[in-house]
Amino acid sequence: MVEAFAVASGKGGTGKTTSTMALGMALAERYDVTVVDADTGMANLLFHAGLADVETTLHDVLVEGGVPVEAATYDRFGMSVVPCGTSLAAFESVEPDRLRDVVAELAADTDVLLLDSPATLNSKSAVLPIVLADRVVVVLNPTVPAISDGLKVQEYALSYGSDIAGTVFNRVRGDITGVKAKAERYFEGPTLASVPESDAIQAARSAGVPLLDHAPESPAAAAFRTAAGRLSPNDGDHEDVAERFRTAVIPDPP
Amino acid sequence: MIPDGELLRSRVVSALSPALEDALDRELDGYALVSPRNALLDSGNDRGVITFESGVATLAYHTGTDRGGPPALADIGSPPYQFELYALAAEALELPHRTETLRIPPGAAAERLAGDAELAARVRAAVADDGDERSERDAVEAFLENEAAVSDIRDAARTDALERAEEWGFSEALEE
Ligand SMILES: Nc1ncnc2c1ncn2[C@@H]1O[C@H](COP(=O)(O)OP(=O)(O)O)[C@@H](O)[C@H]1O
Ligand SMILES: [Mg+2]
Q: What's the pLDDT tens digit per position in B127-154?
A: 988 888 888 899 999 999 999 999 999 9
What range defines the domain where residue B150 resides?
Answer: 146-175
Nearest CB among A131, A155, A176 relative to B173 is that of A131
Q: Pick the atom of ligand 1 nearest to A198's CA.
A: 3
Do the domain assignments include residue B26? yes
CA–CA distance, A85 with A109 (Å, rounded to integer) = 23
Sheet with B6-13: strands ordered across: B6-13, B81-87, B30-36, B48-53, B56-62, B67-68
Q: Pick the atom of ligand 1 nearest to A44's CA.
A: 18
pLDDT value, residue A238: 44
With an 8 Å Cβ cutoff, are B161 and A179 in contact? no
Do the domain assignments include residue B135? no
Assess contact for A134 and B175: CB atoms under 8 A.
Answer: no
Instruction: Indicate if B109 and B153 belong to the same structural domain.
Output: no
Mean pLDDT for the stretch of residues B95-107: 87
Superfamily the domain A3-247 falls into: P-loop containing nucleotide triphosphate hydrolases (3.40.50.300)
Instruction: Indicate if B52 and B93 belong to the same structural domain.
Output: yes
Instruction: Indicate if B159 and B109 belong to the same structural domain.
Output: no
Instruction: Indicate if B49 and B98 belong to the same structural domain.
Output: yes
Going from N- to C-terminal start, the domains of chain A cover 3-247
Instruction: Indicate if B23 and B104 belong to the same structural domain.
Output: yes
Q: For residue A166, is pLDDT > 80?
A: yes
CA–CA distance, A239 with A200 (Å, rounded to integer) = 41
Query: How far, in Å, from the CA of A35 to the mean position of ligand 2?
Result: 12
DSSP lists the bridge partners of residue B61 as B49, B68
Q: What is the CA radius of gyration of chain A?
A: 17
Please spell the DSSP secondary structure of A161-208, one letter per residue: TPEEEEEEEEEE-S--HHHHHHHHTTSSS-EEEEEEP-HHHHHHHHHT
Predicted TM-score (pTM) of the model is 0.78
Q: For residue A194, is pLDDT > 90?
A: yes
Q: Determine if ligand 1 sits within 6 Å of the CB of residue A171.
A: yes
pLDDT value, residue B175: 60
Instruction: Indicate if B38 and B82 belong to the same structural domain.
Output: yes
With an 8 Å Cβ cutoff, are B160 and A249 in contact? no
Residues 6+ apart with CB under 8 A from A27: A33, A112, A114, A228, A231, A233
| Protein residue whose Cα sits closest to atom 11 of ligand 1 | A202
Q: Which residue has the higher pLDDT, A168 or B135?
A: A168
Q: Work out the minimum CA distance from B159 to partner chain A, whole angstroms.
A: 9
pLDDT value, residue B131: 85
Do the domain assignments include residue B158? yes
Residues 6+ apart with CB under 8 A from A135: A3, A4, A5, A6, A162, A163, A164, A165, A189
Instruction: Indicate if B159 and B75 belong to the same structural domain.
Output: no
From its phi and psi, is residue B64 left (phi > 0), alpha (psi between -120 and 50) or beta? alpha
Q: What is the CA radius of gyration of chain B?
A: 25
Q: For residue A252, is pLDDT > 50?
A: no
Total number of domains constituting chain B: 2
Assess contact for A210 and A200: CB atoms under 8 A.
Answer: no
Instruction: Indicate if B71 and B10 belong to the same structural domain.
Output: yes
Q: What's the pLDDT tens digit per position in B38-95?
A: 655 555 568 999 999 999 999 999 999 999 999 999 999 888 999 999 999 888 888 7
pLDDT band at B3 (very low <50, low <70, confident <90, very high): confident
Do the domain assignments include residue B140? no
B153 CB neighbours in chain A (<8 A) are 148, 151-152
Name residue B69's amino acid: G
Do the domain assignments include residue B133? no
pLDDT band at A243 (very low <50, low <70, confident <90, very high): low
> For an interface test with B, which of A121, A159, A244 has the most B Cβ atoms less than 10 Å from its Cβ?
A159
Q: What's the pLDDT tens digit per position in A61-112?
A: 999 999 999 999 999 999 999 999 988 888 888 888 899 999 999 999 999 9
Q: What's the pLDDT tens digit per position in B164-175?
A: 998 888 877 776
CA–CA distance, A18 with A26 (Å, rounded to integer) = 12
With an 8 Å Cβ cutoff, are A143 and B162 in contact? no
- How many residues make up chain A in this entry? 254
Instruction: Indicate if B112 and B44 belong to the same structural domain.
Output: yes
Q: Pick the atom of ligand 1 nearest to A42's CA.
A: 23
Strand runs labelled E in A68-145: 74-76, 79-82, 112-116, 135-140
Q: Hey, is the C-beta of A254 within 8 angstroms of any chain B C-beta? A: no
Mean pLDDT for the stretch of residues A175-179: 93
Do the domain assignments include residue B127? no
Q: For residue B11, is pLDDT > 60?
A: yes
pLDDT value, residue A254: 41
Task: Identify which ligand lies nearest to the alpha carbon of A137.
Answer: 1
pLDDT value, residue A240: 59
pLDDT band at A30 (very low <50, low <70, confident <90, very high): very high
Q: What is the ipTM of this complex?
A: 0.89
Return the closest-CA partner of residue A114 out of A250, A227, A236.
Answer: A227
pLDDT band at A253 (very low <50, low <70, confident <90, very high): very low
Please spell the DSSP secondary structure of B75-111, one letter per residue: HT--SSEEEEEEE--HHHHHTGGG-GGGB--TTHIII
Instruction: Indicate if B28 and B78 belong to the same structural domain.
Output: yes
Q: What's the pLDDT tens digit per position in A115-161?
A: 999 999 999 989 999 999 999 999 999 999 999 999 999 999 999 99
Q: Domain boundary residue among B95, B116, B137?
A: B116
